[in-house]
């Protein structure tokens, strides 16, 4: 039979990263391509203990159907957790549980975008988000990233263009893939522009707690007095991604509709996982856990930067990220980036070609994304050595 797909299906793209990762059965392959938390970062003992406890105390509750909005106790403790440092959830907001924050991208696009509607995004940006927008036939318009966040003049040009974007997508902390942290001044400027032009902001903050340098900066959501910001906070990077649990905070009216979208998608998020998260946030010292994670990632990031400085020297350029999981390496002008990535893969080092993260992924690009959270010290050393070797070959 010949299948007749919807128009939007033609604009769907599989994630190049997840395609790369699927090939990775080879145990000799070093991956700088993924974005997985370090295995040592998982609070295994606590999750094991909590799981046993909750399956002993209320197994039926953990196994039965639940409500779409999420486990009431988790929503409550999630609100307290998110509002600790900054006022994220206001009176006019609601907080719901989603199966990872990827669902927030998907549902929000479904709610807002007809085919051809514009979504503005940092450019480059998180590929998974771009693919969610594309999967509903949205037209992506990129706004150039600078070292302290998007170019504000370019953002205003996009906000005043016709058609006006339905939303603007941003990761203000340690952006994926660039590692850029948006300055407070730019966060304020983004909010002011969104308010002036009536554009919704989707603020994605998966890495915010993984700060390894510098001072915390208020989320854009903390500035929101106008119901302009939908805020996604994932537990994937700070507890465990296999759980698929995230918080979405946003204007009540919007979230009521998001609940309907979720109802007809997965009904509700896995209950065991919600309760594990609820008990972890209630019983465990999250601050202490985060200090441990920050130490792990600081050490990995610094080791990778030291290795790059030592082995690649001034051949490559990169920004020192204040957190997150990635470095964004820019290769020398004469080096073909795609060839570099292929040659590294032939020597068993996986990297993601930087063009994958751009709205126009066919445009020329000199950068690669390098993950430092997953590989071991030994793998970091060996992987950077492969990059040095390939660069030497390509320069000779």
Ramachandran bin of 244, using left for φ above 0, alpha for ψ from -120 to 50, beta for the remaining angles: left
> Which strand (E) or helix (H) includes residue 167?
strand 167-170
DSSP of 112-152, one letter per residue?
Answer: H--TT-EEEEEES--HHHHHHHHHTTPEEEEEEEEBTEE-H
CB 107 within 8 Å of CB 254 = no
DSSP of 327-392, one letter per residue?
Answer: EEEE--TTS-HHHHHHHHHHTTEE-EEGGGGSSSTTS---EEEEE-SSS-HHHHHHHHHHHHHHHH
Query: Which pair of tokens denotes residue 274?
Result: 């919600």
Beta-bridge partner residues of 371: 326
Our CB check for a second copy shows the closer of 51 and 389 to be 51
Sign of the four-CA dihedral 176, 374, 40, 302: negative
Candidates 55, 218, 250; CA nearest to 259 is 250
Q: How far is the CB of 346 from a second copy (least distance, A)?
A: 24
Q: How far is the CB of 53 from a second copy (least distance, A)?
A: 11
Candidates 106, 102, 103, 99; CA nearest to 271 is 99
DSSP of 263-305, one letter per residue?
Answer: HTTTSS--HHHHHHHHHHHHHS-HHHHHHHHHHHHHHHHHHHH
CB 202 within 8 Å of CB 170 = yes
Q: How far is the CB of 271 from a second copy (least distance, A)?
A: 4
Our CB check for a second copy shows the closer of 56 and 396 to be 56
Our CB check for a second copy shows the closer of 10 and 84 to be 10
Our CB check for a second copy shows the closer of 112 and 331 to be 112
Our CB check for a second copy shows the closer of 19 and 333 to be 19
Q: How far is the CB of 5 from a second copy (least distance, A)?
A: 6
Query: Which pair of tokens denotes residue 326?
Result: 């990635």
Our CB check for a second copy shows the closer of 9 and 144 to be 9
CB-based contacts of 161, cutoff 8 Å, min separation 6 = 118, 141
Our CB check for a second copy shows the closer of 194 and 349 to be 194
Q: How far is the CB of 267 from a second copy (least distance, A)?
A: 5
Q: How far is the CB of 18 from a second copy (least distance, A)?
A: 6
Give the span between the Cα atoms of 243 and 14, in whole angstroms: 22
Our CB check for a second copy shows the closer of 244 and 300 to be 244
Q: How far is the CB of 157 from a second copy (least distance, A)?
A: 20
Q: How far is the CB of 383 from a second copy (least distance, A)?
A: 19
């Amino acid at each position: 039979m010949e299948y007749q797909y919807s128009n939007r299906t033609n604009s769907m793209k599989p994630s190049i990263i997840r395609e790369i990762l699927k090939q990775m059965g080879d145990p000799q392959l070093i991956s700088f391509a993924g974005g997985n938390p370090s295995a040592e970062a998982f609070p295994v003992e606590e999750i094991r203990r909590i799981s046993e406890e909750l399956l002993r105390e209320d197994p039926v509750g953990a196994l039965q159907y639940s409500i779409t909005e999420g486990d009431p106790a988790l929503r409550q403790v999630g609100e307290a957790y998110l509002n600790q440092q900054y006022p994220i959830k206001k009176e006019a907001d609601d907080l719901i549980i989603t199966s990872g924050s990827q669902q927030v991208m998907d549902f929000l696009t479904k709610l807002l975008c007809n085919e051809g509607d514009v979504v503005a995004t940092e450019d480059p940006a998180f590929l998974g988000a771009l693919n969610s927008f594309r999967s509903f036939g949205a037209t992506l318009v990129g706004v150039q990233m600078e070292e302290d966040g998007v170019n504000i003049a370019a953002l205003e040009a996009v906000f005043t263009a016709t058609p006006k974007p339905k939303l603007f997508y941003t990761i203000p902390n340690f952006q994926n893939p660039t590692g850029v942290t948006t300055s407070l001044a730019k966060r304020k400027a983004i909010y002011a522009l969104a308010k002036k032009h009536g554009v919704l902001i989707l603020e994605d903050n998966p890495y915010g707690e993984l700060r390894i340098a510098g001072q915390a900066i208020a989320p854009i959501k903390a500035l929101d007095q106008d119901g302009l910001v939908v805020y996604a906070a994932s537990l994937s990077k700070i507890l465990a991604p296999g759980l698929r649990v995230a918080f979405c905070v946003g204007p009540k009216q919007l979230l009521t509709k998001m609940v309907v979208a979720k109802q007809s998608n997965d009904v509700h998020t896995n209950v065991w996982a919600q309760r594990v998260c609820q008990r972890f946030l209630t019983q465990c010292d999250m601050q202490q856990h985060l200090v441990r994670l920050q130490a792990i990632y600081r050490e990995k990031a610094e080791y990778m930067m030291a290795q790059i400085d030592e082995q690649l020297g001034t051949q490559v350029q990169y920004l020192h990220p204040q957190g997150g999981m990635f470095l964004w390496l820019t290769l020398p002008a004469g080096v073909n980036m795609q060839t570099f990535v292929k040659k590294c893969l032939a020597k068993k080092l996986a990297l993601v070609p930087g063009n994958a993260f751009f709205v126009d992924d066919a445009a020329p690009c000199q950068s690669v994304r390098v993950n430092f959270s997953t590989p071991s010290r030994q793998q970091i050393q060996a992987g950077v050595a492969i990059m040095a070797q390939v660069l030497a070959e390509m320069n000779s």
